[in-house]
Structure 1
Amino acid sequence: MTTTQDPAAAAERCTPEFRRNPHPVYEHLRDNQPVCPMKPPHGIDTYLITRYEDARAALSDPRLSKDMYGAMDAYRRIFGDSSVALDDHMLNADAPKHTRLRKLVNSGFTPRRVEALRPKIQGITDMLLDACPKREAFDLLPAFAFPLPITVICELLGVPQDERSDVQTWSTTVAQTGFSEESKRAQQQAEESLHRYFSDLIARKRSHPEEDLLSALTEARDKDGGLTENELVSTAFLLMFAGHKTTAYLIGNAVQHLLSHPAQLRAVQDDPELMGRAVEEVLRYDGSVESATFRFATEDVEMSGTRIPKGSLVQIAITSANRDPRKFDSPDEFDVSRPDNAQNAHVGFGNGSHYCLGAPLARMETQIALTSLLGRFPRLAFADPAQEPAWLQVPFPAFRGLSALPVVLEP
């Protein structure tokens, strides 16, 4: 078994070049050290898993715990004390707590509830596209890709319209902060603001409940003690944060790659029935979640000849697993007609008990967004075709997305 750190991989994951194109580094790791010990910028020794089969197994391995309280010292060093107050939710829990919390929230994401949102999502999409400049260059992310999912999740939760801008700003700050003291202070302030906001909103839902998910969760908290007050606040934050950030980046990535592959774009335009496959291919080829959230080993775990010692942090590189040639034929080719079958079963939404609860909603939002955008504006083009894509430059590769996407709807 090997435990030798790959210094090149550890260093390269922190460079602008890697953020622009991580795939060569991941290819190197899959071939040479598929379970790689490394020290990320936060300073905690971590094992990075890069192959598909290892990733799929790790995502559902009960020995790799999601309970943040089991690794609290490491958690505080990485995220700070302020994060703890917002992170007491199902994403950071194991069974039976995870089972209890997920069951309560699941009622808001049943197939019937999600499908019932379709007219609302279509209406929001049309409204946003109506407001976009038609013949001038503009950034599609703040004008369309971000407002769509955040409006949908705010509607689902019951966040008043005039309060959504602040919530989005705070959530963005939490997502994009680094490890400098200035970044940590900004993150702490944003997290404290979010905690105050959701605590206040829950109090308002208690006094004046409405037909929304947060009112229902508040009632569950008060009626039968289904969750604690801190779990309720943390769950509201999780749904807001996870419910818009990943979908927004997914929409941006989809537009980026469709415009970069004209033959694939034409295929979707000629056959709208391909849109479902196109979204799955974006999730596989360059999805918005680069690495799954932290796990830690509750005992020694061996994978691909490497021993992960008890107590170690573990990261699972979703982006790498979804390009593994051991699983996918021609994985570096973007192909919207790739069959939707077991051979092409990506892990863009995870695997096992922590499989993304909002996956059906994210799929629907992305399909509606792309179908409407390309249907109304078939000549959609990059504002400057020669310009390199502006991928996020963050020191902690959790999200894979663009920082800007300049386009022209009717060039």
Structure 2
Amino acid sequence: MPEPDTTRADDEPLDLADEELVRDPFTSFAHIRERASMVRGRVRGADPMWVATRHDDIRTAMNDPRFTIDAKACPGASVAHRTEQTWQGRGMRPGYEKYLRASIFDADGADHRRLRGLVAAAFSPRRVAALRPRIDAIAAELLDGLPDRAEGGVVDLVEHFARPLPITVICELIGVPEPDRDRWRARSATLSAGVCGAELGDALGGMVGDAHVLVEHHKAHPGDDLISDLLDPLHHDRLSTDELVALIVNLVVAGHITTVNLIANGTEALLAHPDQLALLRADPTLMPHAVDELMRYCGPVVRALPRYATRDVTLGGTEVRTGEAVLPIVSAANRDPAVFTDPDRLDITRTRHSREPHLGFGHGAHRCLGAHLAQEETVGALTALFDRFPDLRLAVEPERLRRGTNPVNWHLKALPVRL
């Protein structure tokens, strides 16, 4: 067993917005993972954190009761809420931090179980499977329109397929009226693009305001949707208004952006690996395995929410003191050679032969609530796309594709293809 690393890493912390880390987190964080189990890192506007890059350390931080996702749960002195600091640094207006703290994503223990229990049924495998016909219908409608969207024979799959499909599904799930959906789509795209300043403040403020209006709409006009279900007076343990608004905002942003980027990243990866695409065409039953492998190989989630030590802990040979934050780098964990054989190789048959557990959807009590929905949407989207356009190909070389600058999500700004 290695001796604890008791150094406090007084060197300049790693800048997590560094251009190389954002451009290629898989390679860049691999170098860090090989050099040290944990390093100090910083995010604009937030106090320094420990940065975890190894699979086993991250799995521990996500599931060990000595760590919490709720900064308030740490005993002793007040602990800086790193996510709140980050959003404030990006331009979140004062007063909106309560929608972070009221969120299911920021609660722990009994409070988290209460919040998650109220909404988990809507994302169960059975309920998600029942959504598949609607997912397929939305995908078919979008694919029908792709040829007319092409300019010079080239169409952007992000703008015209990967983005509209998941946001339409989530808007239908929570009951956003059709005339309002373009506004929700635009604000969600802004919040997930990594923008800062007034643009972010306006988008978040507008979405929170729209969520309040949506709650009032469903109080007056209940329907067959998640929000109406949660407002049903038969629920004796209903969400507060702030909790419900926080849930709506987080479901719309976090609940669809992973799927948008997984569809785009996955399409690009398959087109860039024709041998894997050929395997998939020869055996379409591989699609669920392919989606799982794509989430590992090119998943969009670079990092998860910070975890806070509730007592002094040794993690990866490093002493983490009570109240200190550990930032899990998911993209590094999912390429860790200590866990995955030949981790930098795309292999869509990987999960057919083994159960190497990637962390693309997290782990433990906070494993992504919408994981089943994201997987089902991506399976439906990629199946429909490659069936409809068997000659689909990239319109530019993979190295010329433009990626966004959001250090949290590894994503394509556009995916130009020829149908």
The answer to whether TM tops 0.5 is: yes
Deviation string for 1:216-255 (max 9, x for gaps)? Answer: 11225x8524221110111111111122100000001101
Mapping 1:40-189, distance limit 5 Å: 40-69=43-72, 71=79, 74-80=82-88, 81-87=94-100, 88-133=102-147, 136-178=153-195, 183-189=196-202
Shift, 1:389, TM fit: 2.5
Shift, 1:83, TM fit: 3.9
Q: Which residue of structure 2 lines up, in the alignment, with residue 226 of structure 1? A: 238
1:407 aligns with 2:417: yes
What CA distance in whole angstroms lies between the structure 2 residues aligned with 1:84 and 1:386? 39
What CA distance in whole angstroms lies between the structure 1 residues aligned with 2:85 and 2:398? 41
Amino acid at match of 1:150: I
Identity of aligned residues (%): 37
Mapping 1:1-400, distance limit 5 Å: 1-2=4-5, 3-5=7-9, 10-11=14-15, 13-69=16-72, 71=79, 74-80=82-88, 81-87=94-100, 88-133=102-147, 136-178=153-195, 183-219=196-232, 224-340=236-352, 343-385=355-397, 387-394=399-406, 397-400=407-410
What CA distance in whole angstroms lies between the structure 2 residues aligned with 1:355 and 1:38? 24
Deviation string for 1:118-148 (max 9, x for gaps)? Answer: 1100000000000112662121101000100
Contact 1:46 1:314 in 2 (8 A): yes
**Aligned residue pairs: how many?**
401
Shift, 1:74, TM fit: 4.3
Contact 1:218 1:232 in 2 (8 A): no
Shift, 1:76, TM fit: 4.0
CA gap of 1:133–1:229, structure 2 versus 1, over 3 A, is: same
- What value does the CA root-mean-square deviation take over the aligned residues? 2.0
CA gap of 1:46–1:276, structure 2 versus 1, over 3 A, is: same
What CA distance in whole angstroms lies between the structure 2 residues aligned with 1:308 and 1:232? 34
SS at match of 1:326: coil
CA gap of 1:314–1:265, structure 2 versus 1, over 3 A, is: same
Contact 1:302 1:308 in 2 (8 A): yes
Amino acid at match of 1:105: V
Shift, 1:159, TM fit: 0.6
What CA distance in whole angstroms lies between the structure 2 residues aligned with 1:342 and 1:316? 24
Amino acid at match of 2:19: P
What CA distance in whole angstroms lies between the structure 2 residues aligned with 1:43 and 1:213? 34
Amino acid at match of 1:95: G
Shift, 1:85, TM fit: 3.4
Shift, 1:84, TM fit: 1.4
What CA distance in whole angstroms lies between the structure 1 residues aligned with 2:397 and 2:82? 44
Shift, 1:95, TM fit: 1.0
Unaligned runs of 5+ in 2: 74-78, 89-93
TM-score by length of 2: 0.90
Amino acid at match of 1:206: K
CA gap of 1:152–1:145, structure 2 versus 1, over 3 A, is: same
Contact 1:6 1:36 in 2 (8 A): no
TM-score by length of 1: 0.92
Deviation string for 1:35-68 (max 9, x for gaps)? Answer: 1112233341111111111111111122222125
Contact 1:64 1:296 in 2 (8 A): yes
SS at match of 2:303: coil
What CA distance in whole angstroms lies between the structure 2 residues aligned with 1:286 and 1:76? 27
Tell which deviates more after alignment, 27-36 or 363-372: 27-36
Shift, 1:6, TM fit: 8.9
What CA distance in whole angstroms lies between the structure 1 residues aligned with 2:35 and 2:303? 19
CA gap of 1:47–1:133, structure 2 versus 1, over 3 A, is: same
Shift, 1:69, TM fit: 4.3
What CA distance in whole angstroms lies between the structure 1 residues aligned with 2:289 and 2:235? 43
Unaligned runs of 5+ in 1: none
What CA distance in whole angstroms lies between the structure 2 residues aligned with 1:323 and 1:115? 30
Contact 1:290 1:400 in 2 (8 A): yes
What CA distance in whole angstroms lies between the structure 2 residues aligned with 1:369 and 1:175? 21
Contact 2:143 2:161 in 1 (8 A): yes
Shift, 1:386, TM fit: 6.2
Contact 2:21 2:29 in 1 (8 A): no
CA gap of 1:91–1:8, structure 2 versus 1, over 3 A, is: same
